[in-house]
Amino acid sequence: MEEASYEDPYEDPYEVVDRVRGDYTGAVYGSLLAASVVVGAGTLGSFPRLQLIALLLGTGVVFWAAHVFAHLFGARMAGRLSWRVIRRTAREERPIIEAAVPPAVAAAISPLLGLGPHGIAWTALLVALAGQVGWATVAAKRAGASRRMMAVAGAINLFLGLLIVLLKVGIQH
């Protein structure tokens, strides 16, 4: 776990505490993004699983880069851009990419289970949604939330995931 450092005079001490505890926003967001990518790709019809894997990982990298840029642009406007800030920001936003890996792995191994293109897409989607709910629950726990609030965080993310599933079903029919 990263030690809190107050060397940067522009850094908010509360931000440091949040980082030390662990910020899972990127993982939750990345999981929802991955689910959306699977749904979007599924609307194009049948496609090779390697394209889905490349689309999942590529989209994760592009959104990671966009988030890093957005944070750095804000830091630059505040006059505090340095290599240290760039590296820290890139590292903090990394969960967006990492959240795309489990659905990509699920897509990669789905043929071993005898699944066709639709089965691969559904498997990748369900893995992405499980990640979303799981990361939201872990985030709530790490933030010190009660069990009830952890359940609420999980339920809200499950609801968001179900909206993605309904979108997939609605588009395909």
What does the pLDDT read at residue 71? 84
DSSP 80-126: ---HHHHHHHHHHTTHHHHTTHHHHHHHHHGGGGT--HHHHHHHHHH
pLDDT tens by residue, 138-161: 989 988 999 999 999 999 999 998
Per the prediction, the chain carries an average pLDDT of 82
pLDDT tens by residue, 19-46: 434 567 888 888 988 988 888 886 666 6
Q: Is the pLDDT of residue 170 over 90?
A: no
How far apart (Å, rounded) are the C-alpha atoms in residues 47 and 124?
A: 14
Helices (H), the chain: 13-21, 25-42, 49-77, 83-92, 95-98, 101-109, 117-142, 147-172
- What angle (nearest 5°) sits at the alpha carbon of residue 21, between those of residues 19 and 26? 60
Number of other CB atoms surrounding residue 116 within 10 Å = 11
Helix axes 25-42, 101-109, angle to 10 degrees: 40
